Amino acid sequence: MRLGVCTWIWTAPLRDAEVLALAERARRLGFDVLEVCVEDADLVTAPTLVDARERTGIEYSVCGAFGPDRDFAHADETRRRTAGAYLDRLVDLAAAVGSRHVCGPMYSAVGKERLLAEDDRRAEWERMVAELRAAASRASEHGVRLAIEPLNRYETDLVNTAAQGVELCDEIGADNVGLLLDTYHLNIEEKSVGDAIRAAGDRLFHFHACENDRGTPGTGHVPWAEAFAALKEIGYDGQVVIESFTPAVQEIARAVSLWRPLDATGDDLAAGGLAFLEQSLA
């Protein structure tokens, strides 16, 4: 497995001017992977990422941010088109910089929490299946996979569990569509973190190693031994990325309900989490 860290630990929105310094920082801390969180596709360009990769040897994961205007489930066609155009740009970026995938909760906008009638919910589901099937077809032309992330109930009412994620992947029916599972969300939604990982099986394209409070991995109560045993059981050999946030970035903090500082600075959280992951996976 290749161990990584996401740019949201330090900044948002990510800009070209920050890329090289963050790639150097990630490598200096000991990471193999920098997860590039692209809120605005106009601010991060492939040549800059490629240059930083060549200078540092860093590997990339491309992650999307899906706000209200980027919503494949919405009845408004404009929002669906906006989501498609944005995801296509991330796919182009991933192909250009050598990322294995584009990851994130790309099925809908984050922060939708509603009690919908069953007919309305099914209509949303069918729209996101159709849109993601088309997006997956376009991504396959570039050799890029889509790693769809289930989120906890406080961030979405559409896809909360690994089982729902597998169902969505099956309905999309594309070989390049799989899941990103995140231990923060698994810890809230699943009866068993290990069973959820095993349910994903070979559909698991990407993995986020996050503590129950989104602080330093290994300092909380996520059942890490169970998670690592399940990853080994399914033969997962992809990237394992630490994702966290800063309350100083208000839009992101609001989206993930982060109202107080976490237990460490960005560098300390990343370094402490990496040490824990290396020791545990060894």
Please state the φ and ψ torsions of residue 2, each to the nearest 5 degrees. -105, 130
Q: How confident is the model at residue 18 (pLDDT cuts 50, 70, 90)?
A: very high
Give percent above pLDDT 90 in the chain: 89
Cα–Cα dist 171/198, whole Å: 19
pLDDT digits (tens, 9 = 90+) for 192-243: 999 999 999 999 999 999 999 999 999 999 999 999 999 999 999 999 999 9
Q: How confident is the model at residue 264 (pLDDT cuts 50, 70, 90)?
A: confident
pLDDT beyond 80 at 252: no
CB atoms within 10 A of CB 161: 19
- Catalytic one of 39, 155, 189, 243: 243
Q: Are strands 145-148 and 59-64 parallel, antiparallel or unpaired?
A: unpaired
Which pTM was predicted? Answer: 0.96
- Catalytic one of 35, 124, 149, 190: 149
At residue 118, the 3 state secondary structure works out as: helix
Using the 8-state DSSP alphabet, how is residue 185 labeled? H
Is residue 118 part of the annotated active site? The answer reads no
Burial label, 165 (beta-carbon count in 10 A; 0-12, 13-18, 19+): buried
> Are the CB atoms for 153 and 144 separated by under 8 Å?
no
Give percent above pLDDT 70 in the chain: 99
End-to-end CA distance of the chain: 11
Q: Would you state the pLDDT for residue 262?
A: 79
> Are the CB atoms for 177 and 138 separated by under 8 Å?
no
State the total domains in the chain: 1
Cα–Cα dist 41/187, whole Å: 31
- Residue 152 sits in a domain whose CATH number is 3.20.20.150
For 29-37, what is the mean pLDDT? 98
Structural domain boundaries enclosing 89: 2-281
pLDDT beyond 80 at 254: no
Please state the φ and ψ torsions of residue 103, each to the nearest 5 degrees. -125, 160
pLDDT digits (tens, 9 = 90+) for 94-148: 999 999 999 999 999 998 888 889 999 999 999 999 999 999 999 999 999 999 9
Average pLDDT over the chain reads 95
Contacts of 156 (CB under 8 A, 6+ apart): 105, 108, 110, 111, 112, 113
Nearest partner of 63 among 92, 11, 98, 105, judged by Cα: 105
Q: How confident is the model at residue 255 (pLDDT cuts 50, 70, 90)?
A: confident
Q: Computed over its alpha carbons, how large is the radius of gyration of the chain?
A: 17
pLDDT beyond 80 at 248: no
pLDDT digits (tens, 9 = 90+) for 56-74: 999 999 999 999 999 999 9
Using the 8-state DSSP alphabet, how is residue 7 labeled? G
Q: Which residue has the higher pLDDT, 257 or 141?
A: 141
Nearest partner of 172 among 216, 244, 230, 107, judged by Cα: 107
Return contacts of 211-214, CB within 8 angstroms, 24+ apart: 211/183, 211/184, 211/273, 212/184, 212/187, 213/262, 213/263, 214/184, 214/243, 214/244, 214/245, 214/256, 214/258, 214/262
Is residue 189 part of the annotated active site? The answer reads no
